[in-house]
Amino acid sequence: MMPADETYDVIVIGAGAGGMTAAAVAAAQGLRVLVIEKTAFVGGTTAWSGGKVWIPANARVKEAGLSDTVADAVRYLSGTVPEPGNAGLRAAFLARGPEAIAWLEANTEVRFQPVKACPDCYPERLGATAGGRVLEVLGFDGRRLGKAFARVRPPLPEFTLFDGMMVDPPDVAHLRSVGKSLRSTLRAARLVSRYALQRLRSARGTSLYLGNALAARLYASLLARQVEVLFDADVEDLSMQGDRVGGVVIRHGSRDRPIAARRGVVLATGGFSHDNVLRKRLFPAAAGFVSAANPSSTGDGLRLAATAGAALDTDAISPAYWTPASLFRRADGSRGVFPHIADCAKPGVIAINTAGRRFVNEAASHHEVVLAMLRESHGKPDRPFYLLCDSRFLWAYGLGRIKPFTRHYRRYVASGELIEALAIAQLATKIRAEPSVLTATLARYNEGAKEGREGEFGRGSTIYQRHLGDIGHKPNPCVAPILCAPFFAMRIYPADLGTAIGVKVDAQARVLREDGAPMPVSTPAATIWARS
């Protein structure tokens, strides 16, 4: 073991939401904390996400005039993700989740509000609620960070307007109503004017929302407590003292640098979404290698834990959190991955398989849509799937990274990202589906869609599906006919938003060895573990 250059009480590896939260908790207890981040930014995948958390029976539920109980949450989870092997972890989450939210709001810059009209994904199951369990972070003014604002990972450009303007979800409706409503037009003008002023002093907009706001709020909390964050540093190894972890060895610049931890090392490295070896080992074969998670999620935590003798917990109903995604090339040549989390539920788009048939309720959760894709693939990767819509849908809702009201969409056709045809039979030929099958599929769908009905899968039949649809579209927010040429298809792939397999721990957050025994956690070389 190399002699340590420096000593901290706690070392946290990874500056996403989990890592920064762990660092904030330790710092609030008066401990000296170091956060090690291998990229140039804080935020990880969090900075690209919706920034929402699912916490049953949280205090905000009552404040919103809603009701919820832990008992209902237990019933809901038991019928949705039955994982007996993780029952202890689930019980700890349900018991301590509200407390964690209350602590964050009392001791950090993080502020949440309940999403009153966000139902659980499976509202028909026992214990489900119509809203309140989902908490969303409040917006944040990035100018409060000063020069440190440059360290917050920018959002995906496809989710911003005008090359860097983030939009608060309630303002989306105003932007869609520009020219139709005076109030919305004035609101949109104020938003764009504010953004223009921000760009005079910043490389992007400083009004932050969703996951970007959560990352910024957590980072502001660390700065307020003078927590050190070391950027562009790779953790090469854990420093072992017998069977205990006593610190880390990092690669920073051109040399190895040992750092000791008196009280513990926290692994919060973001999973293994971009490690092809682990994906091939732990994912279904049909899943392929497309991920919407941040590219820095390469399984570092799992490998480090394995060196210390930790066991891998594979007792999960699914190894990942899935979403259909489309692929494209940005102007700078980089590959883009667009997660289709909500647009599949909008009225006037369907998903089809390689035969030209529908295979899923497109308005179900994005996780369920991919599970259906995996079943349809029969274990074979790269089976083609497509979203199909008409010109009316593309104009009103956009598709993937193509935003609503896009007049010049043919550049997407030229790149191959969007496939266009004047007739359904012609579109079928272009995507190598049988024209007669696709024509029949669309005819069957359109027959009921004209009256807002969809009998094959029951699309729009639950409050969750209608929540994802267009509430202003009647009579069914999720169903509209596909009639207006030209017609379009966009290829989608099964992709993950993050991985659900990590280090095996017990309800006390103690990491477990292969024999099921907890690893030693006594001082002076205690190790604090976060599910990586």
Q: Are residues 204 and 241 in the same domain?
A: no
Residue 64 lies in a domain: no
Q: Are residues 334 and 426 in the same domain?
A: yes
**Pairwise CA distance, residues 79 & 513, whole Å:** 30
φ, ψ (nearest 5 deg) of residue 23: -65, -40
Q: Are residues 168 and 264 in the same domain?
A: no
Q: Are residues 325 and 473 in the same domain?
A: yes
**Pairwise CA distance, residues 205 & 157, whole Å:** 12
Q: Are residues 463 and 507 in the same domain?
A: no
| Residue 522 predicted with pLDDT over 80 | no
Residue 59 lies in a domain: no
Average pLDDT over residues 327-348: 96
How does pLDDT run across 210-221, given as a tens digit for each residue?
999 999 999 999
Query: Helix (H) and strand (E) counts for the chain?
Result: 15, 20
| Residue 523 predicted with pLDDT over 70 | no
Confirm if 35 and 23 have CB atoms less than 8 A apart.
yes
Q: Are residues 359 and 249 in the same domain?
A: no
Residue 60 lies in a domain: no
Domain, as residue range, for 165: 155-208
**Tally of structural domains, the chain:** 3
Query: What b/e readout covers 185-209, taking b as 16+ CB neighbours within 10 angstroms?
Result: eebbeebeeebeebbeeeebbbbbb
DSSP reduced 3-state for 402: strand
* E-state strands within 244-348: 244-252, 255-267, 290-291, 312-313, 320-329, 335-339
The domain spanning residue 242 has which CATH number? 3.50.50.60
| Residue 529 predicted with pLDDT over 90 | no
If one compares 524 and 270, the residue with the highest pLDDT of the two is: 270
pTM for this structure? 0.94
Average pLDDT over residues 174-195: 94
Residue 380 lies in a domain: yes
Average pLDDT over residues 333-355: 96
How does pLDDT run across 359-405, given as a tens digit for each residue?
999 999 999 999 999 999 999 988 999 999 999 999 999 999 999 99
Q: Are residues 335 and 440 in the same domain?
A: yes
- Crossing angle of helices 87-107 and 70-80, in 10° steps, is 130
Q: How confident is the model at residue 528 (pLDDT cuts 50, 70, 90)?
A: very low
Q: How confident is the model at residue 106 (pLDDT cuts 50, 70, 90)?
A: very high
**Pairwise CA distance, residues 349 & 371, whole Å:** 19
Residue 104 lies in a domain: no
Residue 12 identity: V
Q: Are residues 379 and 359 in the same domain?
A: yes
Q: Are residues 447 and 352 in the same domain?
A: yes
Q: Are residues 345 and 371 in the same domain?
A: yes
Residue 36 lies in a domain: yes
Q: Are residues 468 and 392 in the same domain?
A: yes
Please provide the average confidence, as pLDDT, over all residues in the chain: 93
How does pLDDT run across 74-98, given as a tens digit for each residue?
999 999 999 888 889 999 999 999 9
Query: In the prediction, which pLDDT does 242 show?
Result: 84
Q: Are residues 201 and 242 in the same domain?
A: no
Query: What element of type H or E holds 414?
Result: helix 410-414
| Residue 453 predicted with pLDDT over 80 | yes
